[in-house]
Structures are given as C-alpha cells and as structure tokens.
Structure 1
Amino acid sequence: MMDKNKLECGNQHIQAIAYQVPKSGNVINGDSIYMKVTNEYFICAVCDGLGSGEYAFHSSDAVRKEVEKNHDKDVEVLIEYCNQVLKDKRGATLCILKVHFLQGTFTYSTVGNNQFVLSCPSGKFIYPLPILGYLSGRPQKYRCETYSYEKGSKFIIHTDGLVITDIKSLASSSSSIEEIYNYIDNHAKTGKDDLTYIVGQLF
C-alpha cells in the first residue's frame, strides 16, 4: 500500500493496482475492493453500495468480507453468497473477476453498472455486458462468463463514479498499468460519486 487510497498486488502472472476516493464532502467511501493473488489464481471484487457514505459502506464491506472468506470458491457460488449477505441491507452492485493462471482463462460476473474491459495484444477486446439491477438478498439472475486471455492483456474495472472517455483506447495503449493508473487519476472527473477502479495486466 503506497497511500491510504491505493492498493497493489501481483506475482509473476499478474500486476494490479486499485484506487478509491470518496464522494466530495464524504469521509467514508461507499465502495469496497478485495484483491488476492495466489500461485494458481487472482481474484478481485469491486462492490458499490447503493447511495454513498456509511450505510453504502456497510453493504459493500459485507460483500468484501464474504469474498475474502470464500475466495477459493467459483464465481457463480461467490456472487450468490454475496447476494445472500445483503439481506436487510441497503443493497449493492458487484463485479467479480477470477483469473486462472494455469488454464489461461478468467471468469467474470457483474450485477449493476460497474464496467470491465480487457484488451488483448492481438487487438481483441472483451467487454462483458452487465446484468441490470443490484444485489439485495432477493432472487437475482446472474451471468458468469469464462474467456481465454492472451499474455500481456490489460484490464480496467471501475464503478460508475469513474467518468472518463474512451476507456477501451486507454486499456489498449502501450502504456504500463502504472501510467494508465496515473492517467486516470489525473483525468477522471470526480466529486459527484464514490470512485473506485482497478488496472491490471496479465503475464
């Protein structure tokens, strides 16, 4: 951790940087992040509690703790666990990414308006469409998709608090993830909502 808002993790297979900043005027960010890397996989979750401030954080942090406790589970199982933990809470949007290094694949699922884009060195983009709505403990449809990835692929995950143009071009640039992180930090329009993003590269 380089400062209170920036998190980094990685190994020989991946390098990832995450950043959070609360809505202007708020001390507490209603978003939560979880990242973990092992020799076999990388998993991250970005959760946006509905609204902002303390009660939004209570929802998103409950999801983060659930992913942390069960990070070895499949994405399909995890997202249902996270939905159940939000019973009697405000609700939250969520995206989960799990990369399996040995298989060269990743599984991704999202409910709500969090965004994900992965750019391959070959020029291919992977940009899964989210399921509308949010998690609240009620029955919810999920879509979990698994893709192959190329070594050198870069990805960006962000909540709707990040407003920046042409995110695909940024992900496909020759810039390092540290440079992409710094660009977003310098150019993102902030203040109206909590902001959270993860920038990563697969090796």
Structure 2
Amino acid sequence: MPAQALQPLEIGAAARTLAGEKESGDRFVVLPSRHGTVVSVVDGLGHGPAAAFAGKLAVHAISKHVDDILPVQVERCHQMLKKSRGAVMALAHLQPTAGQMSWLSIGNVAALRLRPTSRGQASVHSVLPRGGIIGHRVPARMQTLSETLDFQVGDLVLFATDGIAEVFYRDVDCQAPCQAIADSLLKRHSKETDDALVLVLRWNENPPTDPSASGPGQP
C-alpha cells in the first residue's frame, strides 16, 4: 500500500488478509477533524466476511462521527456494531500543532508512541488497553478511559492488530520512511493464523503537502 500524507503527518500502512479469505477484518482510517486528525485501527473479530463486515461498520461510524470526542465515537461504533460479530479497536486524536495526542484502546489492538533519543534508540509509551468488544460490551465510564500525552516533531505512532506479534516494535528503525517501517513490520512480525495490519504515522517538521483525507483500508 502506498504511503500518503495528511499534513503534517506522514503515513505508512501494510496489511495482509488471512490465506483463503477474500476480505480482511482489519481496517484503518485517518481523517481530518476539528480535533486535528482522527486515527483508528479496527479488528473485526475472527476473519472472513463477518469480520470484514464488522470492520467496515466501525470505520463507517468513525467517519460519520469524526468530530465527536473519543468516548462518543466509541459509543457510536458500539451502537452500530450491535448486529455484527463485533470488533476491537484503537482510536486516537492527533493534534500536532498543539503538541498533544489523546488515545484509547478497547481490546487487543496495540498503539505505541516511539520517540527517537540521542542514543539512537527510542523511548516507548504504550496505550493501556481496556477489555471489551465493540458491539457487545464496552467499559463503563468510558469518558475516563482516554489518555492525553505530548506529541513532538519526529515522534512515531504505531498501531497493530493482533495478527502482528507483540514484540513488533522493538527493532523499529525510527529514521526510515513510514511506509518502509510498515512493510518491514508486516513482513517480519505477521502471524499466519489471522488477518494482520500495521499503521505507522510520523509528525514531520516539513511534511509533503497532500490534501488526501484518508488512507488505504477505508471502505
């Protein structure tokens, strides 16, 4: 999948559908909003057409309610997915110009911020995943589940579904293009037993200008 830019973000994505299936349940969406940029990675439960249907519904709900706050967006997804198999998801609001990011994760979708250091390594901050299945059960008091942290030029934000091994972030080349990072992570860490998707974003100081409002993976 080609990388795209949503100023001031560089975006790379890579995905693989489980062998024997025509559609993946793993989806992502990146859209501008009044918050800055809304990013979500969704994993429809299981695989095959039912998982793909749930993933598409979740992306549609986020796109339709892109200007809502995080807890409201999750609730909109929850209501829309009640007649589906359900999904897990990570959802983030990126505000590069304000230097902050708010995010949450329901279920086993990984979300991490990698910040390069002077020693050539990266400090890692992971979202705290909350139990639940969108469409079936979500945590109570959802307004308290999101976390806000600082977001700086050069920071990488990585999202991965559970078709990617948990240790995927440990050997990331933080200087590589986002698309190269996504392709490499998918190749080296994807499992053969599930759909898999990796989404990588970087805040660039001088980003390429591209008015595109969404990335591959949106229905």
TM-score by length of 1: 0.87
Corresponding residue of 1:144: 146
Partner-residue secondary structure (3-state), 1:120: strand
Match of 2:181 in 1: 180
Counterpart Cα distance in 2 of 1:102 and 1:166: 29
Counterpart of 2:57, as a letter, is: A
Partner residue in 2 for 1:199: 200
Assess if the C-alpha contact under 8 Å between 1:162 and 1:189 holds in 2.
yes
Query: 1:38: Cα distance to partner?
Result: 6.2
Which residue of structure 2 aligns with residue 98 of structure 1?
A: 93
- The answer as to whether partners of 2:12 and 2:181 remain within 8 angstroms in 1 is no
- The within-5 A match list for 1:43-192 is 43-122=38-117, 123-141=122-140, 142=142, 143-163=145-165, 165-170=167-172, 173-192=174-193
> For structure 1, which segment, 34-43 or 21-30, has the greater mean C-alpha deviation from structure 2 after superposition?
34-43
In structure 1, distance between residues paired with 2:86 and 2:199? 22
How many angstroms does 1:32 deviate by? Answer: 1.8
Question: What is the CA–CA distance in structure 1 between the aligned matches of 2:198 and 2:159, rounded to whole Å?
Answer: 5
> In 2 relative to 1, CA 40–51 (structure 1 residues): closer, same or farther, beyond 3 Å?
closer
Identity within the alignment, % = 21
Residue 156 to residue 68, structure 1, CA distance change in 2 (3 Å)? same
Specify the alignment match of 1:35 in structure 2: 30
Q: Conserved in 1, the CA contact under 8 Å of 2:28 and 2:41?
A: yes
User: Partners of 1:9 and 1:41 in 2: how far apart?
Assistant: 17
Q: CA RMSD in A?
A: 2.1
Quote the Cα distance in structure 2 between the aligned partners of 1:55 and 1:166. Answer: 27
Residue-pair matches, total: 197
SS in structure 1 of the partner of residue 152 of structure 2: coil
Which residue type is aligned with residue 119 of structure 1?
Answer: L
Q: Which residue identity does 2:182 align to in structure 1?
A: Y
Which structure 2 residue ranges, 5 or more long, are not aligned? 205-219
Does structure 2 retain, via aligned residues, the 8 Å contact 1:47–1:64? yes
* Moved >4 Å (runs of 4+): none
- SS of 2:116's equivalent in the other structure is coil
Superposition TM-score, scaled by structure 2 size: 0.81
